[in-house]
């Protein structure tokens, strides 16, 4: 993996941790998801005009990924309503790192050096360690929801990894993916809302923050899709999920969640795993 791809994915990780914090900060979970979806719609529509149209064989991947990512965003904001940010975020990402590594090396035939495999394992263990809290931080419901989110992340990451390579045009692929999510996410949120007038009012109130979250989310995943077209999925995933480092800082300063010695140690381990991935490649 080149230094340029490494820095780009680490930047995407920072953006990812930031937009997840915004999603947590907006109190109404459906409002948060719908606002992010509307940003996808606007930017995706422009991208569909600017970038090449994806080839026919890519469309099954785009359609399935859009459906899975819609489910992911709704589940994610629901999980944040049930549990601490600093616990939910690393748990979902740790599950994804392990799932993507297993699938990509077992079924997709991707090759990783022993040092890279060790680095991915260290990152995954560190993420799980960061999710541990002696106070529980959400109970069984929050944990189960976080596990479900991790499974959806694994699914859409693998689907997009295959799809973007088939397309040969990562930005065109990403544009159509965002456009479809921009339609499906607000629609699903509107259908799930118990009080739609209240939801619309919440969207007006939180529009600036939601728009910022959508822009950061869109930028982060566009970088990831591009990186997946050039580097092994497991490596990109492990590097991307280090957004948990930013999440820990945000959780401490914004949500007043504790940052113990245990979390500091796990954070150092995650950084060590990143170094192993870079040197091992």
- pLDDT per residue of the chain (281 residues) written in tens, 0 to 9: 688 888 999 899 889 888 888 888 888 889 999 999 999 999 999 999 999 999 999 999 999 999 999 999 889 888 888 777 777 877 888 888 888 888 988 888 888 888 888 888 888 887 787 667 555 555 677 778 888 999 999 999 999 999 999 999 999 999 999 999 999 999 999 999 999 999 999 999 999 999 999 999 999 999 999 999 998 888 888 788 777 677 667 777 777 766 667 777 777 787 777 777 766 65
CA distance 179 to 183: 7
Separation of CA 249 from chain center = 18
Q: What is the 3-state secondary structure (H, E, C) of 33-46?
A: HHHHHHHHHHHHHH
> Shortest CA distance to 233 belongs to which of 74, 100, 73?
100
Please report, for residues 26, 34, 55, 88, 199, the alpha-carbon distance to residue 205 in angstroms, rounded to integers and kept in the order given. Answer: 10, 13, 40, 26, 10
The whole-number pLDDT of residue 154 equals 93
Specify the residue for token string 């589940």. 75
pLDDT value of position 134: 55
Residue 48's pLDDT is what? 97
Q: What is residue 257's predicted lDDT score, i.e. its pLDDT?
A: 67
Secondary structure of 110-174 in HEC code, one letter for each residue: CCCCHHHHHHHHHHHHHHHHHHCCCCCCCHHHHHHHHHHHHHHHHHHHHHHHHHHHHHCCHHHHH
pTM of the predicted model, to two decimals? 0.85
Q: How many CA atoms lie within 13 A of 128 on its CB side?
A: 11
Tell me how crowded residue 11 is: count the other CB atoms within 10 A of its CB.
14
Other C-beta atoms lying within 10 Å of the C-beta of residue 268: 12
């Amino acid at each position: 993996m080149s230094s340029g791809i490494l820095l780009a994915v680490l930047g995407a990780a920072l953006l990812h941790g930031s937009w997840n914090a915004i999603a947590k900060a907006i109190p109404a979970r459906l409002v948060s998801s719908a606002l992010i979806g509307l940003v996808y719609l606007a930017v995706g529509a422009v991208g569909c005009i600017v970038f090449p149209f994806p080839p026919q064989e890519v469309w099954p991947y785009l359609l399935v990924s859009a459906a899975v990512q819609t489910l992911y965003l709704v589940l994610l904001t629901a999980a944040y309503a049930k549990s601490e940010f600093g616990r939910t975020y690393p748990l979902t990402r740790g599950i994804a790192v392990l799932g993507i590594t297993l699938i990509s090396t077992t079924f997709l035939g991707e090759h990783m050096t022993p040092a890279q495999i060790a680095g991915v394992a260290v990152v995954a263990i560190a993420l799980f360690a960061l999710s541990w809290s002696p106070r529980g931080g959400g109970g069984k419901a929050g944990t189960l929801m976080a596990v479900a989110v991790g499974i959806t992340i694994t699914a859409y990451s693998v689907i997009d990894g295959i799809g973007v390579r088939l397309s040969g045009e990562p930005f065109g692929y990403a544009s159509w993916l965002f456009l479809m999510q921009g339609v499906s996410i607000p629609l699903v949120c509107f259908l799930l809302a118990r009080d739609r007038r209240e939801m619309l009012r919440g969207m007006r109130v939180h529009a600036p923050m939601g728009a910022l979250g959508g822009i950061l989310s869109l930028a982060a995943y566009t970088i990831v899709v591009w990186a997946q077209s050039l580097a092994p999925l497991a490596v990109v995933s492990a590097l991307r999920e280090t957004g948990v480092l930013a999440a820990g800082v945000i959780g401490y300063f914004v949500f007043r969640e504790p940052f113990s010695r245990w979390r500091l140690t796990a954070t150092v381990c995650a950084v060590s795993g990143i170094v192993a991935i870079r040197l091992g490649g």
